[in-house]
């Protein structure tokens, strides 16, 4: 067995999803035969506490000119990143500060720096999204961030006063290359903000569908502190945020550049007390996922038996785990409604459920909508009031299977 991606110790697998396709591997029928599969297995490291995938597909397979996730799709995330950009900009030193974003995607966050006339650079390897950022006036480099890219940026622009990485470090297999790059790029008094889904929330909500190819790591303050400490950096604060089903925003800097927040100390104790890294926690998680799968399949089969149409809502990356791990087939879910044009006319990875424009959902409401977008439930339910008024019901499966 290969070792931990941070400390190289032997890792302990706790959940095996079997053969899985790429979560964002939406495809056309002529591509079905050559569809790529890999073994999706989650493990934890007893030494540095990192929860991680045992195997992650090659990064170019996932992040390329076809990458179909656009940050701007969610209005909620647009507001979230506008606020984060505001906070980052407010703490910049006077003069001619420089802001770098890692995984800048379509420029949703960085355009606020661009609009304010602040020197900035986004590092984004997926051309499909980077091109949108560039067209919108956000300076972007279409590369995978690592030590080499960091060295080039420092040579060309100097060190960064702020570095932001949202939902990106969790996507990185070679964590040391990225974190060492951050250590090289960050100015002595600079601040780095890392935000990613929090393993504590995945456990608490049984949000098993956060586990898929792109998410190589599931951080806690404990595991992230271990990682950054190896590169001479410290996690100075950790602030819970409620996006993506429960994320954590970590403030990283040089040790002593700012006093560590008492809140971070308390969170470390809390992680210990919750037993986030204990074998019983992993076993309990696995059992709850099994129960969710049985309950969801039972409900979908009874809908079918009663002649109720079920349509999936949101062709999310998470849904790939749910659909393929539980064995949800096209006879149970007619199609998946989605707002991303790039996914229309495509089929979902693995199970090949058709993906259709939202207009088809709205034109003829089904009896049930299976909410793959459970992390945006508030936004979606507000938007789809007419569906519920017409008698439609939502099926959700995180934290447990329920009909709303
Ligand atoms: N920050 C955005 C996008 C998150 S999706 C948001 O929160 O909405 C993850 C992004 O990280 C993808 O756009 C992917 O192309 C990018 N990415 C993956 N590996 C990377 C790396 N090594 N350096 C920079 N970006 C990377
Ligand atoms: P993700 O969970 O992998 O980020 O994918 C989210 C998908 O959900 C993306 O394809 C856009 C789609 N979507 C909708 O269809 N309706 C919505 O209201 C939102 C917020 C997203
Ligand atoms: Zn480890």
Ligand 1 centre to CA of 63 (Å) is: 8
Burial class from Cβ neighbours inside 10 Å (0-12, 13-18, 19+) for residue 211 reads buried
Dmax (CA) of the chain: 67
Strand partners, 235: 252
Q: pLDDT tier at 187 (50, 70, 90 boundaries)? A: very high
Average pLDDT, the chain: 96
Q: What is the average per-residue pLDDT within 87-98?
A: 97
Ligand 1 pocket member 124 (CB < 6 A): yes
Round to whole Å and give the CA distance between 212 and 21. 9
Q: pLDDT tier at 260 (50, 70, 90 boundaries)? A: confident
Say yes or no to pLDDT of 126 above 70: yes
Say yes or no to pLDDT of 1 above 80: no
Q: Which of 373, 376, 377, 387 has the most ligand 2 atoms within 8 A of CB, as the residue to mutate?
A: 373
Backbone angles phi and psi of 253, in degrees to 5? -160, -175
pTM recorded for the entire structure: 0.94
Taking CA atoms only, the protein residue closest to ligand 1 atom 8 is 71
pLDDT tens-digit map of 206-236: 999 999 999 999 999 999 999 999 999 999 9
Ligand 1 atom with minimal separation from the 130 CA:
13
Q: What string of H, E and C letters represents the secondary structure of 237-272?
A: EEEEECHHHCEEEEEEECCCCCCCCHHHHHHHHHHH
Q: What is the structure's pLDDT at 193?
A: 98
Q: What is the structure's pLDDT at 257?
A: 83
pLDDT tens-digit map of 345-380: 999 999 999 999 999 999 999 999 999 999 889 989
Round to whole Å and give the CA distance between 404 and 386. 14
For residue 227, the ligand closest to its alpha carbon is: 3
Ligand 2 pocket member 78 (CB < 6 A): no
């Amino acid at each position: 067995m290969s070792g931990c991606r941070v400390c190289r110790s032997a890792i302990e697998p706790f959940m095996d999803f079997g053969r899985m396709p790429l979560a964002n591997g939406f495809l056309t029928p002529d591509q079905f035969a050559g569809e790529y599969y890999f073994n999706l297995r989650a493990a934890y490291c007893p030494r540095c506490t990192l929860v991680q995938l045992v195997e992650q597909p090659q990064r170019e397979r996932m992040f390329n000119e076809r990458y179909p996730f656009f940050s701007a799709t969610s209005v909620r995330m647009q507001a979230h990143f506008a606020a984060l950009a505001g906070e980052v900009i407010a703490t910049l030193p006077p003069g001619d500060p420089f802001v770098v974003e890692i995984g800048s995607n379509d420029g949703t966050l960085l355009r606020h720096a661009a609009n304010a006339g602040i020197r900035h650079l986004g590092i984004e390897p997926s051309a499909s999204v980077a091109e949108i950022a560039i067209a919108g006036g956000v300076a972007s480099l279409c590369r995978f961030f690592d030590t080499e890219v960091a060295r080039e940026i420092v040579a060309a622009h100097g060190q960064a006063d702020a570095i932001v990485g949202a939902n990106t470090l969790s996507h990185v297999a070679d964590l040391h290359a990225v974190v060492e790059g951050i250590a090289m790029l960050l100015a002595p008094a600079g601040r780095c903000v890392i935000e990613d889904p929090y393993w504590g929330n995945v456990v608490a909500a049984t949000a098993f569908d956060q586990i898929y190819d792109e998410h190589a790591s599931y951080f806690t303050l404990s595991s992230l502190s271990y990682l950054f400490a190896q590169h001479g950096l410290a996690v100075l604060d950790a602030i819970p945020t409620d996006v993506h089903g429960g994320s954590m925003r970590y403030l990283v800097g040089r040790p002593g550049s700012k006093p560590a927040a008492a809140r971070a100390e308390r969170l470390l104790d809390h992680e210990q007390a919750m037993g986030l890294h204990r074998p019983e926690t992993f076993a309990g998680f696995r059992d709850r996922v099994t129960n969710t799968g049985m309950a969801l399949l039972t409900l979908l089969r009874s809908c079918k038996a009663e002649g109720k149409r079920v349509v999936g809502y949101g062709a999310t990356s998470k849904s790939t785990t749910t659909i393929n791990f539980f064995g949800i087939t096209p006879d149970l879910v007619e199609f998946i409604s989605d707002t991303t044009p790039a996914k229309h006319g495509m089929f979902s990875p693995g199970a090949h459920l058709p993906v259709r424009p939202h207009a088809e959902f709205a034109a003829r409401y089904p009896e049930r909508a299976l909410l793959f977008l459970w992390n945006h439930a508030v936004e979606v339910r507000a938007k789809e009031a007419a569906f519920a008024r017409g008698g439609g019901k939502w099926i959700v499966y995180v934290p447990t299977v329920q009909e709303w």
